[in-house]
Amino acid sequence: MIISEENPVCRACGGPLYTYDHKKRVHKKAGGIKEWYLIPRMRCADENCECQTLHSALPDNLCANKHYDAGLIEDVVEGVVTSDDSETENYPCEDTMKNWKAWIAGNTTNIDGQLRSFGHRLLEFSVEFLNDSRSLLQELRTRISPGWLKAVSWLLYNHGHRITPLGRLKTTHPLFFAVNGETG
């Protein structure tokens, strides 16, 4: 069971969350190794809150909507791990690896926009910061390696945002089309 020392708050109203129940969640590692976690699901204590949704309290090594370890996903996206490696020869499969790369590539603009918004609203960064053309995601990938995916996931999900699942992306990024067999 996942136990956290944090006091989670509702993204909508800022009030405390309480543990509603737990659900089983698989955590897959390279080579097909599986671990099962009992993930707490949280609900807002304020019955009048607008959200009234369940929030899964995922550990740092899992990303929402992904079963594989966040570190492994990051290593695949960075090219550290490939389908040619003996440890990852069959698990994850090559198509899964391609999908992870397309997922990050298709979300880069979204992630950059959310990071700029946080910097401006929460840290009071300047308007020049908002208009800077450099990719904040690329900066994080350079400065926090390994660990950028965990950091980005934590920041976005804990502030009510998300990284859009690959199947819901509408993008013109060439990698997205290459993975999905479409033409750009």
- Reported as a pLDDT band with limits 50, 70 and 90, residue 138 is very high
DSSP helix/strand/coil, 104: helix
State mean pLDDT over 179-183.
50
Residue given tokens 């543990």 in the structure block: 19
Instruction: Output the pLDDT for position 80.
Output: 94
The H or E element that residue 153 is part of is helix 148-157
HSE toward the beta carbon, residue 77, CA cutoff 13 A: 26
In sequence order, the 6+-apart residues with CB closer than 8 A to the CB of 177 are 183, 184
Query: Distance between CA atoms of 27 and 23, rounded to whole angstroms?
Result: 13
Provide the mean pLDDT of the chain: 86
Q: What is the reported pTM?
A: 0.83
